[in-house]
Amino acid sequence: MSLKIKDISSHLNIPVSTIRYWQDKFADFIQPSRTNGGQRRYSENDLNVFKTIKELVYGKKKTIAKAKQLMQLEAKGAKQFNWTDKTILLTGGTGSFGKHFCRIMLEKYNPKAIRIYSRDELKQHNMRIEFNDDERLRFFIGDVRDVDRLRRAMAGVDVVVHAAALKQVPACEYNPFEAVKTNVHGAQNIIDAAIDTGVKKVVALSTDKAVNPVNLYGATKLCSDKLFIQGNAYAGNQNTSFSCVRYGNVIGSRGSVVPLFMKQRPSGVLTVTDERMTRFWITLDQAIELVLKPFCYMEGGEIFVPRIPSMKITDLARAIGPECKIQSIGIRPGEKLHESLTG
C-alpha cells in the first residue's frame, strides 16, 4: 500500500499540517519513502503508527513527549520478549482465564510449550480434547499447596503465570483455612519453587478486592501480593523476577454475575445485592493482554494496574434484561459497595 499525505489525513480525519508535525516528532517510527519528485509515500504500517499517535494524543490526552515515550517502551518490549522459545507454566489453567490464555497464546504467540497445572482431572481431560494440541500443551495434575509437585512442574520452565486461587467471596468466608492454604501458602510455594528451579519471570494475578480488603478473599490476595513483591528480595542473585497484575471483574467468566443474569432473564426478575453497587469490568481478551505486557517491561516488584471502567451493577442488569424487574436481595458477607484498584 502506498498512501499520499492527503490519504493519511482523510483516513484519520486530521489536518495535513498535523500529519507533517507528527512525522517530524515521531521520525523514529514513521519513515515514508520518496518519489522521484520528492513527495512522501506512506505504508500501511505508517498509517497504523499515525492511528496509535492519534489514540494517545487525542484519545488518552497524552502529550507528544509522553506519547513518544510510551511508543518507545512498547517497541522496546515487543523486541525484547520472544514467546516462541519459552516454556510457560500456567497455574489454574483450566479456569476461564486459563483456557482463554492458552487459546490466545497458541493462536498469536506460538510458545514452545504451555504446562497446565491444576487439580481437576476431568477439566484437564475436557481441555485436552477441546484444544487437541499435544505438541504444545502439557497437563500436570497438582495443587499449589504442594511445593514439591510445583518444583517438578517448573523444571525447565522460563516463565510462570499464577492464576490459581480460591476466588469466590462467600466460599472463602465459609472456608477460611482453605482460602489461606491456597491463596497465601500457595503463593509462597510458587515463589520458593520458581527461585529453586531458576524460573526467569513470574506474574501473579491480583484483584481489586486486595485493596483495603473487607473480606477474607481480598485479605489473602493482599497477603499474596506482598509475598510476590517481596519475593524479589528472597530471590537474591538467582535472577528470578516477580510482579503482579491487578484488575477487576472479568465479563462472562465462570462465577461472574453476567451468566447469572442471563440465566435469570427468562424469569423476568434479575437479582442484585444492592442497587448502589459498582464494579470494575474487563474482557477476557483485555485480561490476557494485561498479563502478557508485564513480561516485556517488568524488572521485579511492580503491581501493574490498568485504567478500566467501573459501572453500576443495575446498569449491567438493565443492559442484559431491559424488560426485567430488578430485585435487591441484600449485601452478602464480605461484599463492598465500591471496589478500588489502588489504595
pLDDT at 1: 60
Structure confidence by residue, pLDDT tens digits, 167-200: 988 899 999 999 999 999 999 999 999 999 999 9
In a domain, 341, yes or no: no
Domain that holds residue 170: 83-249+283-307
pLDDT at 80: 61
Same domain, 48 and 145: no
Considering the domain architecture, whether residues 155 and 42 belong to the same structural domain is answered as: no
Neighbours of 314 (CB within 10 A): 17
Distance CA 343, CA 331 (A): 23
Asked whether the beta carbons of 208 and 245 are under 8 A apart, the reply is no
Identify the CATH number of the domain in which residue 122 sits: 3.40.50.720
341 or 202: which carries more pLDDT confidence?
202
By the 10 Å C-beta count (0-12 exposed, 13-18 middle, 19+ buried), 136 is classed as middle
Phi and psi, residue 127, nearest 5°: -70, -40
Answer yes or no: pTM beyond 0.95.
no
Both 66 and 161 in one domain: the answer is no
> Is 116 within 8 Å of 137 (Cβ atoms)?
yes
**97 and 70 fall within a common domain:** no
Which pLDDT value is given to residue 273? 86
- Tell me if 257 is assigned to some domain: no
Q: Residues with catalytic annotation?
A: 209
Lowest mean pLDDT among 98-107, 125-134, 254-263, 304-313: 254-263
Q: What is the mean pLDDT of residues 31-36?
A: 85
Q: Which 3 state secondary structure label does DSSP give 200?
A: coil
Domain membership flag for residue 331: no
Region 96-109: mean pLDDT is: 93
Last residue of a domain, one of 43, 78, 113: 78
Please tell me whether residues 160 and 20 are part of one structural domain: no
Does residue 320 fall inside a structural domain? no
Which range, of 85-99, 108-122, 227-241, 279-293, averages the lowest pLDDT? 279-293
- For residue 255, the model assigns a pLDDT of 67
The number of distinct structural domains making up the chain is 2
The neighbouring-strand residues paired with 247 are: 207
Q: Is residue 155 part of a domain?
A: yes
CATH number for 14: 1.10.1660.10
- Residue 156 sits in the same domain as residue 244: yes
C-alpha cell at 91: 497455574
Is residue 118 domain-resident? yes
Beta partners for 159?
Answer: 88, 201
> Are residues 94 and 223 both part of a single domain?
yes
pLDDT digits (tens, 9 = 90+) for 56-89: 999 989 999 998 888 887 776 555 678 999 999 9
Indicate the burial class of 219 (C-beta count within 10 angstroms; 0-12, 13-18, 19 or more).
Answer: buried
Quick one: average pLDDT of 230-244?
94
Cα–Cα distance measured from residue 341 to residue 208, given in angstroms and rounded to the nearest whole number: 5
**Cell 461484599 sits on residue:** 335
Does the residue 333 lie in any domain?
A: no
Note whether 180 and 301 are same-domain residues: yes
Cβ-contact 172, 166 below 8 angstroms? yes
Residue 278, domain member (yes or no): no
Report how many helices (DSSP H) and strands (DSSP E) the chain contains, helices first.
14, 14
Confidence of residue 237 (pLDDT cuts 50, 70, 90): confident
pLDDT one-digit tens code per residue, 250-259: 876 776 788 8
Do 59 and 136 belong together in one domain? no
With 0-12 / 13-18 / 19 or more C-beta atoms within 10 angstroms meaning exposed / middle / buried, residue 313 is: buried
Same domain, 141 and 16: no
d(CA 316, CA 297): 34
Same domain, 69 and 159: no
Closest C-alpha among 127, 159, 165, 172 to residue 143: 165
CA 88 to chain centre: 15
Verify that 51 and 9 share a domain, yes or no: yes
What average pLDDT does the chain have?
A: 91
Confidence of residue 38 (pLDDT cuts 50, 70, 90): confident
Stretch 107-130: mean pLDDT, rounded?
95
pLDDT tens digits, one per residue of 203-224: 999 999 999 999 999 999 999 9
Q: How confident is the model at residue 98 (pLDDT cuts 50, 70, 90)?
A: very high
Residue 131 contacts residue 106 (beta carbons within 8 Å): yes
